[in-house]
Structure 1
Amino acid sequence: MKAQDTTIKKILEELQKVADSDKQNSNTIQVLMQSREIDNQTKYTLIKDNIINASETYYLLNKKIIDLKSRTTTNNLDVFITSLNNPESKELGFSLSDRIVELVEKIILKGKADKNDRNGGIIESTKSIINSPIFKSFTSLTPPLAIANSVMTFLHSVAQSNKAINKKSLQDFGKELNKYVIYYTALNDANQKFEFGLNFNKDQLNLLQDNLYDHLLFTVTALKMTPPNRGNKTIAETLNEFFIDFKKEKVIDYFTKLEEKYTSRGKLNYEKLLQENASLKEANNQLEDLVLQTKRFENLYNEYFSMLDSYHTKVNNSLKLAQDNGLAEKGIIETKQNEFRGLKNEAVNEIQASINIRELYTNVEKIKYRYRVL
């Protein structure tokens, strides 16, 4: 009996150990199951929040790309530069057209323009070149340079048959005319480099917009929405039309309906939702590229202001050349430099207010793209 009692006691102890072990295993399994559910919930919440915030980022980035693409300078800056380059303008206290005629009368004709028809004809021909419709149709900064070159060519031609116009007269005339050519060449160089920079900046913005379209196409497809159909439209037209309908509210509505679909008896099955909508994970993980695109826009945005600073410096240098060569008085040049500085600062403030880069920064900070979902 004692042996039996001992055996039964040992069996009971073993059974208790098994029972305790089962309970412990059961508790462990429950904890693991619960932690897995919490992990899936965390993943889903991260994905949902990121994509909702990204929907607004797409819209903001596209809007700001279009705004920056549309910028050249401003109307006031354009008017200022055009007036400086206009051969008829007296913004610097002189008119190039008048100065050329004066130089012809003084140096080439030695003040004898009114004493014979031949000299009067030279003056009239000079004025005719200056007022040629061909030069007036130019839209770039080349009219003054083209006029100067044409007048010099004309005078060299006349000198072949007019012995009163000697080599020294032509050299002296060319020397004085060259002072104006130097000024207008520097002004032309400033404008051309700024225009080249603007065109390059615009090309880069076009490329960025193409990349944005490709990225948006992937995300929209992951959300089982109708992607933007580009067709023969420009990228700007396509995205503008798409963003009329594709808004943050629509993405929120998508996730609301998705949650309703996977909710049973008041409980959302996060694991099943993620398994059957695996593209959402990839859409989330691709958001790192979207953030990099916003960084690229930031660089192009800053480059614009760098170009504007460089343009300001070059135009001021051309004005200084006009002063150094005695074309305009120091006070007039300083007034124009101050005016240009004010217009440049006005342009900077206007663009900064219009684009509002801080708005884009704030939105991008909401995207937690660094947490990749596996």
Structure 2
Amino acid sequence: MLKLIRWMMPLLMTGFVTMTASAQDPEVKPPQVRTADTTIKKILDDLQRVADSDKQNAKAIEQLSLGREFDNITKYELIKNNLIQASETYYLLNKKIIDLKSRTTTSNLDVFITSLNNPESKELGFSLSDRVVELVEKIILKGKSDKNERNTKLVESTKSIINSPIFKSFTSLTPPLAIASSVMNFLHSVSQSNKAINHKLLQEFEKELNKYVIYYNALNDANQKFEFGLNFNKDQLSLLQDNMYDHLAFTSNVLKMPLPARGNKTIAESLNEYFIEFRKDKVIDFFQKLETQYTKGNKVNYEALLKDNPNLKEANNQLEDLVLQTKRFENLYNEYFSLLDSYYTKVNHSLRLAQDNALAERSVVEAKQAEFRSLKDEAVKEIQASINMRELTLNVDKIKYRYRIF
């Protein structure tokens, strides 16, 4: 028993001390002991955090790579679409420039104006040739053209001047003015030897003749200004065509379809021949072959394609200039109709002068003005239908030239 008590005493003493300590200080806690299990758990948690971070980084890198790939695809598709549409724009612009350059008015309108300027024509109810002879007989010879041989010769000489092949061969619209001037010079010359033709008669004759001169002068002024405007318009169209040719030279080289040497051919001939081959379908074929060249497996390497063909970007970025050229053509196209409107106004003014100077009846003049208006409207519609600006505008709108690629 004593041995048992001695064996239990250390345990009792330990319990007593523990109980005493607990009784004295309830806040005191036994120290926590870190086991192998908690250490492993922390290591596993750290490893999980690293794995999650790696996964997030890999996903971010994947997204960046995918974004870069999409960016290259977007750039390429934009370039491809723009250059395909540009090929059609070049073709249409060249075709419409040539069409507008070839325009004067229309055949019907040209016939109308030519008839008004013809000394033999009676479109306004009179013939200048007949009127000049009548004025000579009435004023210069005082109605006695058949009284003697001298008077008869004067009339015949006047007719001879009017019918001169020189005037009939004029390509400009000035025969009436040339006839009036020649007849006046002739009468002044005759008056030097024929005392019956005095200064007063010449003044009276010139006054009456000038009524016709005023009309034909106004008509001639209208024609000259219209012709000058047309020639200037054509010069500007030729310059535009030269600029288009230079711009096309770079683009065609990029698309592996270079322009041939012009030689002695005009720019119109050269471009017309070139556009037999350089067409939209050929450019589509070029890009299909390019994609095939950079395809590995079932995927096109757009990054390598763009890197190896940097001029594609430059050709795309230069399309803004092509678009500006189409705008310039549109301005010249509108200027043509402004010229036609101005021409219409000036011709009508000359017709009113004929009426005001009693050369033609009012009803005749108004009928001619109505005919001219109808022919002018017909010419406008014919040219608009032939050139079809909407076709060009719709094609240009498909070129997204505002997006420059670097």
CA distance in 1, matches of 2:259, 2:114: 45
Alignment deviations for residues 285-332 of structure 1 (CA, whole Å, 9 cap, x no partner): 111111111111111111111111110110010000000000000011
CA distance in 1, matches of 2:374, 2:337: 15
Range 318-327 or range 286-295, more displaced = 286-295
Counterpart of 1:191 (choices 212, 216, 223) is: 223
Q: Which residue of 1 aligns with 2:92?
A: 60
User: Displacement of 1:22 after TM fit?
Assistant: 1.6
**What pairs with 1:217-296 in structure 2 (closer than 5 Å)?**
217-296=249-328
CA distance in 1, matches of 2:386, 2:228: 23
**What is the one-letter code of the residue matched to 1:181?**
V
User: Displacement of 1:4 after TM fit?
Assistant: 6.5
User: Displacement of 1:7 after TM fit?
Assistant: 5.6
* Structure index of larger Rg: 2
User: Displacement of 1:230 after TM fit?
Assistant: 1.7
| Mapped contact 1:83–1:89 kept (Cα < 8 A) | yes
Q: Does 1:111 align with 2:128?
A: no
Counterpart of 1:33 (choices 65, 73, 77) is: 65
**What is the one-letter code of the residue matched to 1:26?**
A
Q: Which residue of 2 aligns with 1:330?
A: 362
User: Displacement of 1:15 after TM fit?
Assistant: 3.2
TM-score by length of 2: 0.90
Aligned length: 374
Q: Which residue of 1 aligns with 2:339?
A: 307
CA distance in 2, matches of 1:238, 1:252: 23
User: Displacement of 1:73 after TM fit?
Assistant: 1.0
Counterpart of 1:20 (choices 49, 52, 57) is: 52
Q: Which residue of 1 aligns with 2:11?
A: none
**What is the one-letter code of the residue matched to 2:142?**
K
TM-score by length of 1: 0.97
Q: Which residue of 2 aligns with 1:216?
A: 248
Range 142-151 or range 6-15, more displaced = 6-15
CA distance in 2, matches of 1:240, 1:221: 18
Counterpart of 2:104 (choices 72, 75, 100) is: 72
**What is the one-letter code of the residue matched to 1:141?**
L
CA distance in 2, matches of 1:19, 1:89: 102
Range 29-38 or range 117-126, more displaced = 117-126
**Sequence identity (%):** 78
User: Displacement of 1:140 after TM fit?
Assistant: 1.2
Q: Does 1:95 align with 2:95?
A: no
| Mapped contact 1:217–1:228 kept (Cα < 8 A) | no
Name the SS for the 1:349 alignment partner: helix
Question: CA RMSD, aligned part only?
Answer: 1.3
CA distance in 1, matches of 2:274, 2:87: 12
| Mapped contact 1:76–1:343 kept (Cα < 8 A) | yes
CA distance in 2, matches of 1:275, 1:224: 17
User: Displacement of 1:78 after TM fit?
Assistant: 1.0
| Mapped contact 1:228–1:239 kept (Cα < 8 A) | no
| Mapped contact 1:86–1:144 kept (Cα < 8 A) | yes
User: Displacement of 1:114 after TM fit?
Assistant: 0.7
User: Displacement of 1:5 after TM fit?
Assistant: 6.1
Range 342-351 or range 181-190, more displaced = 342-351
Counterpart of 2:349 (choices 314, 317, 324) is: 317
**What pairs with 1:353-372 in structure 2 (closer than 5 Å)?**
353-372=385-404
Alignment deviations for residues 142-181 of structure 1 (CA, whole Å, 9 cap, x no partner): 1110110111111111111111111110000000000000
Q: Which residue of 2 aligns with 1:127?
A: 159
